[in-house]
Amino acid sequence: MTIQEPTSANLAGQTQGNGEPHNAEVNVAITGAAGQIGYSLLWRLATGEVFGERRVNLRLIEVGEGVKAAQGVAMELLDSAFPLLGQITVTEDLHEGFRDAHAVFLVGAKPRQKGEERSDLLAANGGIFGPQGKAIGEVASPDVRVLVVGNPANTNAAIVAAHAEGIAPRQITAMTRLDHNRALGQVAEKLGGGVAELDRMIVWGNHSASQFPDVTELTLKGKPVADQLDQAWLTEEFIPRVAKRGAEIIEVRGRSSAASAASSAVDHMRDWFNGIEGEWVSVALPSDGSYGVPEGIVCSFPCRLVDGQWEIVQGLSINEFQRERIEKTVAELQEEFQTVKDQGLV
């Protein structure tokens, strides 16, 4: 299939100051489009929920048997008759998929096989995310926003950042918004409030069991709530539950989280394109050394949006409990980073 060129690609994602987008269409690439997250995500992207009133051209990037399945997904998208849905492209070719892309969701990844070491998994994914990063650098729109969902998401994003020449590190992120949303859900249930009344939740570190969901700065209707949450509940229930929620979902549902993952990916990209006033969300991005996290590793931080770019919230005082938890998850990220460095992937 051919791809229609965008009318004003470089202005995508920018607004006129009144919240209205300049340009009429946006090119969106999704790898792993035939997977279960893709099956939920694509419908949300086609509605206008993320990119507003712009025409959405979807590039569904798949491999192997996934290509035929993605063609079926494309047929269903067509059958949904979305007024804002433009061209749908199904491809295995990274250059075709990423050409002039303004938003990229890297969802497809190689899952860990039985008996496989963590280093094997990192190497296998390096073989996927390195070439994807390179192709993004070569053909995507210069203002492209990239969200890595496929696991191990943080280190996969570090590999993308190392290969995406000409793309600023801050344009490449990994998803910890699902962990953030899971943490909000747990606290809202505990306190009996709505998630919309909560702000300043933080997830630090890796999208893995070592992550640190942190309520130290959390507010409910603008007022701090840490004092209302007892330490035993936080350390024995809340933190492990959020960190291992993925495994809990598999145990109960029989399959991994897909709709909640897609929903969080939508939240991440919608906020990035449209802005969020003053709010904090958790975003994994290449560290600039903030909070002692070594530069280059992709770590989840509290972030807010300033002029369309994620900025790490600065100046938080970190107590001993937080320091210990942050160091633990950062140590895991450093180890992963070192492994892919030794493999020549970053």
Cβ 136 to ligand NAX shortest distance, Å: 13
Residue 109 or 330: the one with the smaller Cβ distance to ligand NAX is 109
Instruction: Report the residue closest to ligand NAX, judged by CB.
Output: 35
Binding mask 116-155 for ligand NAX (x = CB under 6 A): ------------x--------------------xxx-x--
CB 280 within 8 A of CB 202: yes
3-state secondary structure of 341: helix
Nearer to ligand NAX, 9 or 50 (CB): 50
Instruction: Figure out which of the listed residues 109, 158, 243, 299 binds ligand NAX, where binding follows CB under 6 A.
Output: 109
To ligand NAX, the closest distance from the beta carbon of 209 in angstroms equals 13
Nearer to ligand NAX among residue 1 and residue 226 (C-beta): 1
How far apart are alpha carbons 285 and 176 in whole angstroms? 10
Taking the CB of residue 155, how many other CB atoms lie within 10 A of it?
30
- Cβ of residue 152: shortest distance to ligand NAX, in angstroms? 8
Whole-angstrom CA distances from 263 to 35, 39, 40, 266 are 15, 11, 8, 5
Three-class secondary structure of residue 307 per DSSP: coil
22 is catalytic: no
Q: By CB under 6 A, name the one of 9, 29, 34, 303 that touches ligand NAX.
A: 34
CA pair distance 110, 107, nearest whole angstrom:
10
DSSP 95-149: HHHHTT-SEEEE---PPPPTT--HHHHHHHHHHHHHHHHHHHHHHS-TT-EEEE-
**Residue 315 Cβ, how far from ligand NAX at the closest point, in Å?**
28
Collect all residues with Cβ–Cβ distance below 8 Å to 235 and sequence separation of at least 6. Answer: none
User: Restricting to residues 237-276, which ones interact with ligand NAX according to CB under 6 A?
Assistant: 246, 256-258, 261
333 touches ligand NAX (CB under 6 A)? no
Q: Which residues are catalytic?
A: 207
Which residues contribute to the site for ligand NAX (CB under 6 A)? 31-32, 34-38, 61-63, 66, 107-110, 128, 149-151, 153, 175, 178, 207, 246, 256-258, 261
